[in-house]
């Protein structure tokens, strides 16, 4: 193999330390996959209050060190962890990170700029100079911004190339210009056209200043160039695309963690050769959900944050049609109150057919992936989506809207195709009818046991491990280094 790379991977959240959504899954598994390819990849994140220091055996990485904030300095600690064999640096500051949640505070922009300044100070004083710093989403976009501007004058930082991954282009981290002196950027950056007057947009900054930019599927990389999906960033993204700096790389799933052959939460473990055994998981799930144990009733699963993006409104418009049929439905999700109310009422409206769990529950999620026949993801937009990939790994057939990573990972079972190649059911228009027609198609095929088994086997054999995608990140890093050298 060519020269191993030194990469510092920055994220606001990372499994197993702190998880809110899919970003944590990716930040927990991509560095591990890149290390398996021989690269020295290290992870950095804030040490949020919820991180269990004893469980992850965190220890001090260095004596407290000064972090510049505005004209002043703040003494800060970095802790070191090694979960999953990946060296991790967790920046601790009581004021910024001693809080119950990872996100959602008025000073989030300051909190994450502080994290960026601290990790930059930490690597310099430790002497570990990465070839590439990989920032993810707006929270860590300060780092490529600073490196491309104020940091250029420092010989330690000047050679470091940057990569920036967009996991969701709709979250911008927009904040007032008062952040600039705090960030050490005053006089170093000019106003960007996409930024509102008097404001800094960190998503835009990450896109503008990084050597290379990618997003988490090929389809989403195309979609975000349009006003419909670009959330105002499309102009800037088109510019970077024209420079050949923008690409799409599909996320992978950690196949050690998500494995129906070893999953301790399943009543019965299984693989693609022992799919008959899966029926025991369906029965166990029906019992846990308080539904009649019936092999013949198609059991439909939905696991999601309950927000508009995930297609909950289109789902709520097909419920009457759905429950008019002989089906069972299990929902696991938490999110906006109005959605929780609609779905929370289902078990009363449709007894013996609907079970609803309004919470975050990782173990129950695994039981649903392992027991449901059909898995729904009718998203409005979906940068990548992990749920459909995990469902396929567990032999639950996905019914999805063909958008973003869903389009790139699920192929429709074309009923007219005698060779039966598909891995699920897809629809295009974001309408009740389009969704319902496709769901109904899935319910009809479910009755054809031979075709269904073929679908399940193809789902389980599809490879969404990091094997292929980690190599693409390696190429992306090498491209970042080339761009950086020529800049």
Contact residues for ligand ADP, defined by CB under 6 A: 21-22, 25, 303-305, 332-334, 360-362, 365, 384-387, 390
Residue number, 257 or 271, with CB nearest to ligand ADP = 257
User: Closest distance between ligand ADP and the C-beta of residue 310, in Å?
Assistant: 7
Beta-carbon contacts of residue 54 (< 8 Å; ≥ 6 apart): none
How far apart CA 386 and CA 405 sit, in angstroms, is 9
> Per the structure block, which two tokens stand in for 116?
């960026």
How far apart CA 307 and CA 449 sit, in angstroms, is 34
Distance of CA 278 to the CA centre of its chain: 27
Residue number, 56 or 381, with CB nearest to ligand ADP = 381
User: Closest distance between ligand ADP and the C-beta of residue 305, in Å?
Assistant: 5
User: Closest distance between ligand ADP and the C-beta of residue 398, in Å?
Assistant: 11
Residue number, 216 or 455, with CB nearest to ligand ADP = 216
Beta-carbon contacts of residue 444 (< 8 Å; ≥ 6 apart): none
The CB-nearest residue to ligand ADP is 22
What letter would DSSP give residue 424? Answer: B
Residue number, 89 or 258, with CB nearest to ligand ADP = 258
- Closest listed residue to residue 207, CA positions, set 158, 172, 159: 172
Phi and psi at 450, nearest 5°, equal: -70, -45
Instruction: Decide: 334 and 306 in contact? Cβ < 8 Å.
Output: yes
**3-state class percentages of the chain: helix first, strand second, coil last, to nearest 5:** 40, 20, 40
Residue number, 110 or 379, with CB nearest to ligand ADP = 379
Instruction: Decide: 91 and 115 in contact? Cβ < 8 Å.
Output: yes
Kindly report the number of other CB atoms within 10 A of residue 365's CB atom.
Answer: 18
Residue number, 22 or 206, with CB nearest to ligand ADP = 22
User: HSE on the CB side for 474, CA within 13 Å?
Assistant: 20
User: Closest distance between ligand ADP and the C-beta of residue 308, in Å?
Assistant: 12
User: Closest distance between ligand ADP and the C-beta of residue 386, in Å?
Assistant: 4
Kindly list the distances between the CA atom of residue 120 and the CA atoms of 16, 74, 128, 400, 453, in Å, as whole numbers in the listed order: 23, 14, 10, 41, 52
Residue number, 22 or 173, with CB nearest to ligand ADP = 22
User: Closest distance between ligand ADP and the C-beta of residue 371, in Å?
Assistant: 14
> Per the structure block, which two tokens stand in for 251?
């996320």
Residue number, 322 or 391, with CB nearest to ligand ADP = 391
> Per the structure block, which two tokens stand in for 354?
């609907």
Instruction: Decide: 250 and 339 in contact? Cβ < 8 Å.
Output: no
How far apart CA 340 and CA 443 sit, in angstroms, is 26
What totals of helices (H) and strands (E) does the chain contain, helices first?
Answer: 20, 18
User: Closest distance between ligand ADP and the C-beta of residue 177, in Å?
Assistant: 30
User: Closest distance between ligand ADP and the C-beta of residue 70, in Å?
Assistant: 34
Residue number, 58 or 365, with CB nearest to ligand ADP = 365
Instruction: Decide: 374 and 396 in contact? Cβ < 8 Å.
Output: yes
User: Closest distance between ligand ADP and the C-beta of residue 102, in Å?
Assistant: 13
User: Closest distance between ligand ADP and the C-beta of residue 276, in Å?
Assistant: 25
Instruction: Decide: 17 and 90 in contact? Cβ < 8 Å.
Output: yes
Residue number, 20 or 283, with CB nearest to ligand ADP = 20
């Amino acid at each position: 193999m060519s020269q191993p790379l030194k990469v510092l991977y920055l994220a606001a959240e990372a499994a197993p330390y702190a998880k809110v959504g899919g970003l944590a899954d990716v930040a927990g598994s991509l560095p591990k996959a890149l290390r398996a390819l021989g690269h020295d990849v290290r992870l950095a994140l804030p040490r949020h209050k919820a991180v269990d220091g004893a469980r992850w055996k965190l220890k001090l990485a260095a004596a407290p060190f000064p972090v510049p904030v505005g004209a002043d300095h703040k003494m800060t600690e970095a802790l070191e962890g090694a979960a999953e064999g990946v060296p991790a640096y967790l920046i601790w500051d009581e004021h910024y990170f001693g809080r119950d949640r990872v996100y959602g505070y008025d000073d989030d922009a300051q909190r994450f700029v502080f994290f960026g300044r601290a990790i930059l100070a930490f690597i310099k004083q430790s002497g570990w100079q990465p070839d590439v710093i990989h920032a993810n989403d707006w929270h860590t976009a300060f780092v490529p911004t600073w490196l491309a501007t104020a940091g250029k004058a420092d010989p330690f930082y000047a050679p470091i190339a940057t990569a920036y991954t967009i996991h969701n282009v709709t979250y911008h981290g927009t904040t007032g210009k008062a952040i600039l002196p705090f960030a050490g950027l005053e006089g170093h950056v000019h106003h960007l056209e996409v930024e509102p007057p008097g404001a800094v947009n960190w998503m835009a900054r990450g896109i503008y200043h990084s050597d290379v930019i990618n997003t988490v599927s090929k389809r989403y990389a195309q979609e975000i160039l349009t006003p419909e999906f670009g959330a105002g960033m499309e102009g800037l993204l088109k510019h970077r695309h024209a420079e050949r700096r923008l690409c799409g790389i599909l996320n992978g799933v950690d196949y050690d963690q998500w494995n129906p052959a070893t999953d301790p939460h399943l009543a019965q473990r299984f693989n693609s050769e022992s799919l008959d055994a899966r029926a025991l998981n369906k029965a166990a799930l029906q019992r846990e959900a308080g539904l009649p144990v019936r092999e013949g009733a198609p059991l439909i699963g939905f696991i999601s944050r309950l927000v508009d993006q995930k297609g909950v409104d289109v789902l709520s418009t097909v419920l009457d049609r759905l429950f008019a049929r002989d089906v069972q439905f299990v929902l696991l999700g938490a999110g906006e109150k109005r959605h929780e109310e609609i779905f929370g009422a289902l078990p009363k409206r449709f007894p013996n057919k609907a079970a609803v769990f309004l919470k975050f529950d990782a173990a129950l999620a695994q039981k649903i992936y392992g027991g449901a026949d059909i898995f729904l993801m009718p998203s409005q937009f979906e940068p990548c989506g992990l749920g459909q990939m995990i469902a396929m790994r567990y032999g639950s057939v996905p019914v999805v809207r063909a958008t973003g990573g869903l389009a790139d990972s699920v192929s429709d079972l074309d009923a007219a195709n005698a060779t039966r190649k598909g891995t699920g059911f897809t629809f295009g228009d974001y309408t009740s009818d389009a969704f319902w027609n496709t769901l109904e198609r899935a319910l009809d095929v479910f009755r054809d046991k031979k075709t269904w088994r073929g679908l399940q086997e193809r789902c389980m054999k599809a490879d969404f491990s990091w094997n292929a995608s980690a190599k693409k990140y390696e190429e992306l890093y090498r491209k970042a280094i080339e761009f950086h050298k020529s800049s």
